[in-house]
Chain A
Amino acid sequence: MMNLAWKEIKKSKVRFLILGSIVFLVSLLTFIISGLANGLSQDNAALIKDLPNGQFYMDADADETYNLSRIDNSTMEKLLNNEKDATALSIQMGFLNDESDKQQSVAFVTSTDSKLFPHVKSGEVILDRSMEDKGIKVGDTLTNNQFSGEFIVKGFVDQTKFSHAPVAFINIKNYKEIYRVNEMQLVFLLGGDSSQEFAGLQSFSKQDFLNTIPSYSAEQMSLNMIVWFLVVISGLLFAIFFYMMNVQKIGLYGILKAIGLKTSRLFRIMWAQMIFITVPALALSIVLCQVFNRIAPEGMPFSLTMETTATLSLVFLIIGFIGATLSGIQIKKVEPLQAIQQGEM
C-alpha cells in the first residue's frame, strides 16, 4: 500500500516540523514537570513511598495527623504481638548539631525491630546520604539540644527523606528522651489491607497516609494538575492542527473519495502522520529529559522513572490519537461532490 502519510510529510516538512516541535516542547515540559513532581514527592516522602505495600494505623483521635497520634502502649503491644509483620514507628522533625555546631534539619525516625528500617543502638544515628554532602562522615559525633548524650554516625542510607528533610534513624530510647513521649505514633502492618481494623486506631493505605503528610498532597496535586493540563493541551494541539490541515484538504479528500479511496484509509493516513510526528518528538523529549536528569543541579529533586516515562508517552499517543480522530470526523462528512464543485486545491 502506498505510504501517502509519509509522502505528505516529506512534501510538507515545515508544516509537520512545526507541529512536531510543539509536541516535542510540550512533552519535554510534561516530562520535566513530572520528573520534578516525582522528585519532590520522593524528597517529601521517600521514607514512606519506598516501603512495601501495607497498612498504616494511627490513633483514631489524632485527626488524621500523624504527629498528633499517640498509640496506647497496650494497644501497640497487642498489635505487635499478634501481627508478626507489624512495626511501630514515630517521625518528628528536629535538628542535629554537627561537629562545627552547625544545625542540620532532619526528620528523626525511630521504630521497633523491623527489617524495614535500620536497627540503631542507643547513642547511634544512621543518616540519609544527603548529609554526607554537608560534610558529615561516619564516626562523627552529633548532638541535639533536647538530648543529654551524643549521637555517633554509624552509616548512611540512600534516598531516605521525609518532608524534604534527610531522615535520621535513632533508637527508641533516645527518641523518647528528645520528644518526652512514651508512645509511638504509628504502626505499619506489612502486606496489610484495609479489611484489618483495630479498636481505637484509624487505618490508612500507603497513599492515604502520604496524603496526610502536610504539604504532600497540595504539592503533588498542583504539579500533577500541570502535568495533566499539558497532556490535555497536547491533545488539543493535535485536534487543532489536524482540524486545520483537514479543512485545507477537504477538496483533496473529496476527490480521493470520488476516485474510490476508502474513508478508513484517509483516517489511517492521519493516524500514521500523528504517529510519525509524536514518536520522534517523544523520543527526543525522553533523551533530553535523561540528559537533564544528569546535569540537573544537585539540590534539584528530579526523578523520572522509565515506568512514568512509558506511561506518559502512552498517554501522549492516546491523547494524540483521540485529538486527531476527533478532528477527522470532518473527513467522514466530506462529500466527493463538494470537492468536485470546489476550485483547484
Chain B
Amino acid sequence: MMSIFTIDKVKKTFTNGEVKEEVLKGINLSLAEGEITALVGASGSGKSTLLTIAAGLQPASDGQVLFEGKNINAMNQEQIRQIRASEFGFVFQFAHLVPFLTVEEQLMLMLDVSDSTLKKTEQKREVNRVLQLVGMDHRKNAYPPSLSGGEKQRVAIARAIIHQPKVLFADEPTASLDSKRSKDVMALIRELTKTLNITTLIVTHDEEMLSYADHIIKMSDGLILQNENPELVGRA
C-alpha cells in the first residue's frame, strides 16, 4: 500500500510556567491509502495530541508531518487551512453540526468551504448521493436538534467526506454513542474508507471498535508501544 501521510520524529512539549511536559517523544508513523489506522492507549498517552498534530490543528514542537511529501508542520496557518478545507475530513467525539443549518446545508457548506468547482445542481446531487451513502437522505431537511446522536454522527461523517478528502481524521467518533450505534458508525467509516479510498486515522479507547481497523497502534506515555503491522511503523 502507498503511504500519503508520514509522521517523522514528531515531538510535542507543553510548557506550563516552568514545568515542561513532553507529551509526544518522537513518533514515527506512516498511514496507508485506503486503510484505517487506529490509535489506542490510556488517557494521557498522547494519541489525541498526535491526531490533532497530524491534522494540522496544532503544531508539533519538533519533527515533520508529511502530507503528499509536504511538511504541514512548516506551513503557515493559511496553507494549513487550505489543506484542512480541501484534503482533510474531520469527525469528532461530538458531531458539532451547525445548529442553524439543515442536514443538506451542512454538506453544502462543506462543499463551499472546500471551494468545490461543482455547479449548484451538481453539488445538490453530490449531497444527495453522500447522504444516501450514510443513510441520512430521508432527513436532509432536518435541523440538528431534531436528530438522534447516531444520526448526528452520520451527518458529521457525511460532512467529513462530501468534498472527497484524501485523509479522514476521527477523534473518538463513537464515544458519545451507545454500543449499537457505535458499531454502525464504525462500519460506515470502514465502508467509506474502502469505497472512496480514503486514508483514515482514528483515535478510540473502545476495544470493540478495533476490529474495524486495518492497523492498530498502541500508545503509552508519548511513545508507540506496539503496532500490529511493523512495516508501517518506526520506533522513536
Contacts and interface: CB of A to CB of B under 8 A. Distances in A.
Interface of A: 1-2, 4, 7-8, 10-12, 251-252, 255-262, 335-337, 339-340, 343-345
Contact of A339 (B86, B96, B159): B96
Contacts of B110: 259
Contact of A12 (B90, B100, B108): B100
A2 B108 contact: yes
B84 A258 contact: yes
A259 B58 contact: no
Contact of A252 (B86, B88, B90, B96): B96
Nearest to B81: A260
Nearest to B145: A11
A260 B109 contact: no
B113 A337 contact: no
Contact of A336 (B57, B93, B108): B57
B113 A8 contact: no
B100 A255 contact: no
B141 interface: no
A343 B95 CA distance: 10
A340 B94 CA distance: 8
A255 B105 contact: no
Interface in B29-52: 52
A258 B98 CA distance: 13
A7 B90 contact: no
Interface in B78-92: 81-82, 84-86, 88, 90, 92
Nearest to A7: B100
A12 to B, nearest CB: 7
Main secondary structure of the interface of A (DSSP, over half): helix
Interface residues of B, number: 31
Nearest to A343: B94
A344 B100 contact: no
B142 to A, nearest CB: 13
A11 B96 contact: no
A260 B84 contact: yes
Given A260-B86, A262-B81, A343-B94, A337 B99 contact: no
A336 B108 CA distance: 21
26 contacts: A4-B100, A4-B101, A4-B109, A7-B100, A11-B99, A12-B100, A251-B96, A252-B98, A255-B92, A255-B98, A256-B113, A259-B113, A259-B159, A260-B81, A260-B82, A260-B85, A260-B88, A261-B113, A337-B52, A337-B57, A340-B93, A340-B96, A340-B171, A344-B176, A345-B96, A345-B99
A109 B176 CA distance: 85
Residue among A4, A251, A260, A337 with the most chain B CB within 10 A? A260
B212 interface: no
A343 B55 CA distance: 20
B37 to A, nearest CB: 19
Contact of A256 (B52, B86, B98): B98
A340 B171 CA distance: 9
A21 B82 CA distance: 40
A340 B57 contact: yes
Contact of B52 (A259, A261, A340): A340
B100 A2 contact: no
Interface string B163-187: 0000000010000100000000000
Contacts of B98: 4, 252, 255-256
Given A4-B101, A260-B85, A260-B114, 7 more contacts: A2-B109, A256-B98, A257-B81, A259-B90, A259-B113, A260-B88, A345-B99
A7 B105 CA distance: 10
Contacts of B84: 258-260
B228 interface: no
Given A258-B90, A260-B114, A344 B81 contact: no
Contacts of B114: 260
B68 interface: no
Contacts of B81: 257, 260, 262
A273 to B, nearest CB: 11
Contacts of A339: 96
Contacts of A257: 81
Contacts of B112: 1-2
